[in-house]
């Protein structure tokens, strides 16, 4: 009988109920065709971090349900400064129009310039970037807000996309280009009269929705209008204002743009990617390979719709490849806390540096992780080789539990956490019992198992299990090559009684004594190690006993190894026969 499921086929007549309406969505490569058969970016490597510019205080702020106050923006500004950003887009100071003096954006710009924090100028070591549409009145207000600044990047933009030209502005290509050129010349005149140096940044807004050759023509015209000197750089910011294509198509457009741009030596190509398709990080990486020099984004991806490029994600990616990201990633725990405080947003637990980014619950992952971490304990093993952990979280200042325990976890995870947190090196043959202990608890409680709980359950299961055999007191004495053991025990809650036994060692002597009260089993494994150092060191003993049908472990911990072994044996006896009634 054929049990192979035949492949499903569709006919032209069959239409899936989930198919989009015919003609409603046109594939990007059809609407904006570009042929680049000799593309070179796939063979390029990223060897250094790009220039970074945070747009959290402008692009990120305008995407918040409740925008930040001036005080909150000031606090967040210093978070970005401490991370290592040298360029920060601080806002849109002309957004208040005629009421500019009442605008938070204008007030914030003035405070950054006029005030100090902890006795130091706010803008020390920072180039502020300010955004304005290319309208003359807004450009003039922008320059007013910057008086007295140590320098600034004045960022003007002009929407160039087909849809914005035709559906909103109702402008021709020539009109769009003329508006961009006129505003550039105005910025140049105002810059020449200003008391601070100005770098021009121009964005053909909605670049991804613009015919590529028209975008190039507009940018070439802007550069010519600015007419940079031999050592002057104009920033051309290429925004995927809406992410419309796969990352490889975006990279093709960046390489094509760079090839056909005049005066390339006077231009910094800046990438500004949004995340509508969920591939902003990938598109930016490929865009850098295709010629991008600079990157704009927000530190955890907050932005309109599905967000901006996540700079931290990209910086961590570079770090994983051995590249200095030029941002202080060791500050991430504090950065996350401050980010959530000022923005009222949360960093998702499974973000690349979120609370659970380095925690594995799957039993199939936990064993390899534990093996990799053991490999890294050898100081000679410099290369980071831990399966499922692409980066050492401690490099990011993150303290972490690489292995979390829940109903999906396995014995390797529990064993690893017992060793890492509590210094308990569980014997390999005992692993199944530890795994069963953890599974019982997690399946019963339906939540993850904190390490403190793991330790408490381990103790109640293996170190002090409930049982009828209670050791009250004992002494061990050596008689030649033999050890004689004297025990005071109670069984099933009855009166204390004395039992004795002789053997080749403490465990053998204890076994001999226990046989006299009905505990007849053999020791099938004994292992021990120390935990802690110096005067705090303790012996940990593991004893496995068997009655011929069942084998089970007990654990003892004491400053003395022989005492630890005795406690482990009695724990194993109680686990093997927890309700032994004999009192012979």
Got the DSSP string for 409-467? --HHHHHHHHHHHH-----GGGHHHHHHHHHHHHHHH-S---HHHHHHHHIIIIIS---
Look up the pTM and report it: 0.80
Q: How does pLDDT run across 219-248, given as a tens digit for each residue?
A: 999 999 999 988 899 999 999 999 999 999
Q: Is residue 377 part of a domain?
A: yes
Chain-centroid distance of CA 412 in Å reads 24
At 146 the three-state DSSP class reads: coil
Banded pLDDT at 213 (limits 50, 70, 90): very high
- From CA 232, how far away is CA 342, in angstroms rounded? 36
- Reading the block at residue 167, the tokens are 């559906």
Q: What is the DSSP letter of 300?
A: T
Which has the closest alpha carbon to 149: 119, 129, 132? Answer: 129
- From CA 496, how far away is CA 472, in angstroms rounded? 8
Q: Are residues 383 and 448 in the same domain?
A: yes
Percent of the chain with pLDDT over 70: 95
Which residues, 6+ apart, have CB-to-CB distance to 199 below 8 Å? 127, 151, 152, 153, 154, 233, 234, 235
**Res. 559: pLDDT tops 60:** yes
Which has the closest alpha carbon to 272: 320, 179, 343, 204? Answer: 204
Q: Are residues 204 and 174 in the same domain?
A: yes
Which has the closest alpha carbon to 438: 505, 502, 341, 361? Answer: 361
pLDDT reported for residue 1? 54
| pLDDT (mean) for 419-423 | 89
- From CA 276, how far away is CA 304, in angstroms rounded? 9
CATH number of the CATH domain containing 522: 3.30.160.270
List the single range of 143-147, 337-341, 474-478 with lowest mean pLDDT: 474-478
Q: Tokens 């023509």 sit at which residue?
A: 217
- From CA 155, how far away is CA 7, in angstroms rounded? 55
Helix axes 506-515, 561-576, angle to 10 degrees: 30
**Res. 491: pLDDT tops 60:** yes
pLDDT reported for residue 22? 87
pLDDT reported for residue 12? 54
Q: Are residues 200 and 246 in the same domain?
A: yes
Among 279, 311, 343, identify where a domain stops. 343
Banded pLDDT at 10 (limits 50, 70, 90): low
Radius of gyration of the chain (CA): 35
pLDDT reported for residue 9? 63
**Res. 3: pLDDT tops 80:** no
Q: Are residues 178 and 118 in the same domain?
A: yes
pLDDT reported for residue 2? 61
Q: How does pLDDT run across 148-207, given as a tens digit for each residue?
A: 999 999 999 999 999 999 999 999 999 999 999 999 999 999 999 998 999 999 999 999
Q: Are residues 198 and 70 in the same domain?
A: yes
| pLDDT (mean) for 50-55 | 98
**Res. 11: pLDDT tops 90:** no
Which residues, 6+ apart, have CB-to-CB distance to 408 below 8 Å? 361, 362, 363
**Res. 468: pLDDT tops 90:** no
Q: Is residue 7 part of a domain?
A: no
CATH number of the CATH domain containing 317: 3.20.20.70
Q: How does pLDDT run across 362-381, given as a tens digit for each residue?
A: 778 888 888 898 899 899 99
Q: Is residue 80 part of a domain?
A: yes
Among 410, 445, 463, identify where a domain stops. 463
Q: Are residues 104 and 240 in the same domain?
A: yes
Among 286, 311, 343, identify where a domain stops. 343
What is the rounded average pLDDT for all residues in the chain? 91
Banded pLDDT at 584 (limits 50, 70, 90): very low
What Å distances lie between residue 551 and 348, 418, 429, 462, 546, CA to CA?
Answer: 45, 22, 10, 13, 4
**Res. 471: pLDDT tops 90:** no
Q: First vs last Cα of the chain: how many Å apart?
A: 66
Q: How many domains does the chain contain in total?
A: 3
What Å distances lie between residue 354 and 273, 316, 327, 395, 407, CA to CA?
Answer: 22, 12, 18, 14, 22
Q: How does pLDDT run across 65-108, given as a tens digit for each residue?
A: 999 999 999 999 999 999 999 999 999 999 876 666 678 999 99
Q: Are residues 293 and 370 in the same domain?
A: no
pLDDT reported for residue 583? 45
* H or E element that contains 287: helix 280-289
Q: Are residues 293 and 167 in the same domain?
A: yes
Domain of residue 444, residue span: 363-463
- Would you say 70 and 111 are in contact if contact means Cβ atoms under 8 Å apart? yes
């Amino acid at each position: 009988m054929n049990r192979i499921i035949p492949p499903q086929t569709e006919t032209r007549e069959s239409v899936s109920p989930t198919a989009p309406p015919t003609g409603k969505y046109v594939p990007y490569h059809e609407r904006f065709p570009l042929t680049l058969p000799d593309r070179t970016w796939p063979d390029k490597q990223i060897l250094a971090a790009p220039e970074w510019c945070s747009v959290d205080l402008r692009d990120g702020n305008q995407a918040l349900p409740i925008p930040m106050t001036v005080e909150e923006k000031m606090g967040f500004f210093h978070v970005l400064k401490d991370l290592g950003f040298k360029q920060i887009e601080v806002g849109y100071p002309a957004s208040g129009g005629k009421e500019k003096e009442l605008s938070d954006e204008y007030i914030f710009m003035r405070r950054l310039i006029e005030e100090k924090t902890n006795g130091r100028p706010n803008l020390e070591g920072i180039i502020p970037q300010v955004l304005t549409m290319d309208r003359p009145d807004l450009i003039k207000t922008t320059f007013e807000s910057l008086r007295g600044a140590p320098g600034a990047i004045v960022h003007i933009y002009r929407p160039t996309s087909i849809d914005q030209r035709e559906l909103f502005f109702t402008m021709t290509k020539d009109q769009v280009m003329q508006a961009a050129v006129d505003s550039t010349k105005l910025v140049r005149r105002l810059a020449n009269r200003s008391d601070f140096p100005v770098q021009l940044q121009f964005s053909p807004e909605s670049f991804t929705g613009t015919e590529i050759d028209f975008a190039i023509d507009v940018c070439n015209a802007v550069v010519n209008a600015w007419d940079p000197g031999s050592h002057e750089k104009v920033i051309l910011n290429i925004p995927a204002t809406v992410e419309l294509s796969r990352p490889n198509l975006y990279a093709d457009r960046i390489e094509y743009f760079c090839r056909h741009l005049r005066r390339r030596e006077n231009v910094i190509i800046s990438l500004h990617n949004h995340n509508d398709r969920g591939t902003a990080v990938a598109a930016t990486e490929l865009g850098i390979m295709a010629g991008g020099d600079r990157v704009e984004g927000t530190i955890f991806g907050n932005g309109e719709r599905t967000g901006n490029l996540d700079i931290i994600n990209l910086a961590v990616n570079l770090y994983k490849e051995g590249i200095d990201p030029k941002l202080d990633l060791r500050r991430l725990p504090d950065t996350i806390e401050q980010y959530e405080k000022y923005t009222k947003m949360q960093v998702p637990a499974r973000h690349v540096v979120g609370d659970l980014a380095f925690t594995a619950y799957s039993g199939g992952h936990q064993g390899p992780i534990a093996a990799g971490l053991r490999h890294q304990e050898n100081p000679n093993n410099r290369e980071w080789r831990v399966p499922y952990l692409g980066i050492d979280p401690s490099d990011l200042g993150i303290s972490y539990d690489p292995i979390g325990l829940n109903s999906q976890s396995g014995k390797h995870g529990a064993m690893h956490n017992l060793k890492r947190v509590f210094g308990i090196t569980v014997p390999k043959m005992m692993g199944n019992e530890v795994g069963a202990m953890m599974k019982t608890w997690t399946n019963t409680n339906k939540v993850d198992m904190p390490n403190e709980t793991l330790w408490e359950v381990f103790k109640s299961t293996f170190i002090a299990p409930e049982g009828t055999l209670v050791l009250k007191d004992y002494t061990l004495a050596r008689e030649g090559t033999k050890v004689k053991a004297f025990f005071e025990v109670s069984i099933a809650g009855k009166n204390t009684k004395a039992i004795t036994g002789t053997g080749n060692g403490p465990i053998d002597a204890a076994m001999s004594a226990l046989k006299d009260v009905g505990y007849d089993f053999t020791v099938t494994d004994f292992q021990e190690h120390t935990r802690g150092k110096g005067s705090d060191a303790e012996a940990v003993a593991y004893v496995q006993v068997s009655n011929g049908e069942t084998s089970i472990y007990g654990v003892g911990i004491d400053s003395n190894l022989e005492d630890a072994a005795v406690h482990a044996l009695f724990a194993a006896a109680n686990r093997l026969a927890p309700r032994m009634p004999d009192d012979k």
